[in-house]
C-alpha cells in the first residue's frame, strides 16, 4: 500500500542553519510527492511538489528532489529563518483524490 515515513521531531535550529527533514515513501504506482506546511493557527499549505522521478520542487528557498531509487523526498533549506517555524508534512498522492501524509515534523528556529 501507500505510506509516508517522516523524520521524527521536534527539530530546533538556530537562524541561518541548514535544514534537512527526511521523508521516505512506499507506493504501489507512480505517485506525486508533496511537502505541506502548517503555521500556528493556520491550515495546511502546499509548500512544494514533484510529479515524477528526478523532478525538483522548490518554493520560498525550500527544495526537495523526487528520488525513485531511494524512494525519498527530503526537504532542505540552506538558511532557515525564524518565520520558517512551523510543522512540515510530507505526503504522496497517486490519484489526486486521496493524500497519504506523514506524521509531521515540528521545526522551531531560534534567533
Which residues of the chain form contacts with another protein (CB under 8 A)? 4, 32, 34, 36, 41-46, 49, 89, 91, 93, 95-104
Cis before 10? omega within 30:
yes
17 vs 85, beta carbon nearer another protein: 85
Joined grid coordinates for residue 39: 503555521
14 vs 64, beta carbon nearer another protein: 64
Question: Do strands 11-14 and 105-110 pair parallel, antiparallel, or not at all (unpaired)?
Answer: parallel
Supply angle C-alpha 89, 94, 96, rounded to 5. Answer: 75
43 vs 111, beta carbon nearer another protein: 43
Q: How far is the CB of 52 from another protein (least distance, A)?
A: 13
Which residue's entry shows cell 504506482? 29
Amino acid at each position: 500500500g501507500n505510506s509516508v515515513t517522516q523524520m521524527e521531531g521536534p527539530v530546533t535550529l538556530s537562524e541561518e542553519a541548514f535544514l534537512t527533514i527526511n521523508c521516505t515513501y512506499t507506493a504501489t504506482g507512480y505517485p506525486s510527492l508533496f511537502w505541506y506546511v502548517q503555521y500556528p493557527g493556520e491550515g495546511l499549505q502546499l509548500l512544494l511538489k514533484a510529479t515524477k522521478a528526478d523532478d525538483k520542487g522548490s518554493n520560498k528557498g525550500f527544495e526537495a528532489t523526487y528520488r525513485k531509487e531511494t524512494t525519498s523526498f527530503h526537504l532542505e533549506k540552506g538558511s532557515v529563518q525564524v518565520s520558517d517555524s512551523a510543522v512540515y508534512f510530507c505526503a504522496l498522492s497517486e490519484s489526486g483524490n486521496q493524500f497519504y501524509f506523514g506524521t509531521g515534523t515540528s521545526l522551531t528556529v531560534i534567533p
